[in-house]
């Protein structure tokens, strides 16, 4: 019988987050195959050809709790990691410290160090690697760091359901004649009447069809994040970074 590892529970949380992500991927893919249809409209006597959404399915609200469960397990894995770090040296923790153990996520260096007493259970030799992971070290600033995004999504999910929407991310024309002088693929929420593409021809050609296809993904809507952020891609990034962090600390428990 294999010996239990201190981070077994943490890894199970990571795996559970990824299980929810895999569920979402399968449902997103199935939804995308029948999410909408479009109408081809010829304007200005064939100079412009426009493709607009004329039938639409809305993303199911049932996805919200699944996204929330993915986020919750990711955040819980970090807090359990912090707890295991806190008991690494002694194998136990006074109740006054155990109640407050959590993985710190702060947008500024000042906030991290001001709240350092909350890490009392974690030895000083472990504070430095935790500090290096903080969002304010991110290349694009703390707001775009995966830890800060995870924290905002987790806090939001506690109070209201995380929502999604189909979102236009561009497309392509599979036939590009010499007369095609411009191709525009507007981005934005997928809704009835939304313009998927506009093609401009010179000379005009009322019979032209460039056989376009469009890139539509499921994006966050009305969350603490900017609208239009790809839901699966963001959750996948969180899972990947989370697993890397846990793996980084794993060597301390050998």
pLDDT score recorded for residue 234? 97
pLDDT score recorded for residue 3? 58
Beta sheet of 180-184, edge-to-edge order: 36-43, 48-56, 195-201, 180-184
For 10-56, what is each residue's pLDDT tens digit? 999 999 999 999 999 999 999 988 999 999 999 999 999 999 999 99
In the three-class reduction of DSSP (H, G, I as helix; E, B as strand; rest coil), residue 25 is classed as: helix
In whole angstroms, give the CA distance from residue 141 to residue 146. 11
Q: Is the pLDDT of residue 1 over 70?
A: no
pLDDT score recorded for residue 22? 98
In whole angstroms, give the CA distance from residue 236 to residue 219. 13
Prior bond of 203 cis (ω within 30°): yes
H-helix segments, the chain: 8-32, 63-86, 95-98, 109-114, 124-132, 146-159, 231-250
Read off the pLDDT band of 100 (50, 70, 90): confident
Domain edges within the chain: 8-253
Q: Which residue has the tokens 């707001």?
A: 143
pLDDT score recorded for residue 213? 95
Mean pLDDT, range 1-5, rounded to an integer? 66
% of the chain residues with pLDDT over 70: 97
pLDDT score recorded for residue 136? 97
- Mean confidence (pLDDT) of the chain: 93
In whole angstroms, give the CA distance from residue 65 to residue 35. 20
For 154-189, what is each residue's pLDDT tens digit? 999 999 999 999 999 999 999 999 999 999 999 999
Torsion sign across C-alpha atoms 43, 49, 54, 59 = negative
Angle at CA of residue 11, ends 8 and 14, nearest 5°: 155
Let me know if 93 is exposed, middle or buried by CB neighbors in 10 A (0-12, 13-18, 19+): middle
Strand partners, 218: 166
> Any idea how long the chain is?
254
For 143-155, what is each residue's pLDDT tens digit? 999 999 999 999 9
Q: Is the pLDDT of residue 117 over 60?
A: yes
For 65-81, what is each residue's pLDDT tens digit? 999 999 999 999 999 99
């Amino acid at each position: 019988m294999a010996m239990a590892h201190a981070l077994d529970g943490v890894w199970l949380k990571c795996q559970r987050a990824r299980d929810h992500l895999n569920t979402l991927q399968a449902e997103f893919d199935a939804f995308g195959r029948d999410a909408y249809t479009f109408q081809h409209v010829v304007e200005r006597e064939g100079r412009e050809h426009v493709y607009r959404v004329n039938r639409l399915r809305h993303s199911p609200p049932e996805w919200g709790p699944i996204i929330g469960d993915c986020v919750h397990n990711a955040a819980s894995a970090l807090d359990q990691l912090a707890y295991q770090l806190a008991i690494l040296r002694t194998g136990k923790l006074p109740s006054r410290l155990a109640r407050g153990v959590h993985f710190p996520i702060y947008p500024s260096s000042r906030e991290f160090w001001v709240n350092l007493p909350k890490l009392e259970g974690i030895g000083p030799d472990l504070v430095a690697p935790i500090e290096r992971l903080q969002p304010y070290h991110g290349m694009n600033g703390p707001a775009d760091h995966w830890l800060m995004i995870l924290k905002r999504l987790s806090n939001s999910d506690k109070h209201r359901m995380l929502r999604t929407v189909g979102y236009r991310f561009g497309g392509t024309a599979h036939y590009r004649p010499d007369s095609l002088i411009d191709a525009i693929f507007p981005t934005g929420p997928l809704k009835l009447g939304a313009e998927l593409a506009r093609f401009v021809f010179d000379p005009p050609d009322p019979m032209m069809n460039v056989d376009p296809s469009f890139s539509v993904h499921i994006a966050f809507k009305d969350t603490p994040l900017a609208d239009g952020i790809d839901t699966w891609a963001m959750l996948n990034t969180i899972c990947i970074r989370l697993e890397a962090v846990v793996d980084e600390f794993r060597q301390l428990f050998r």
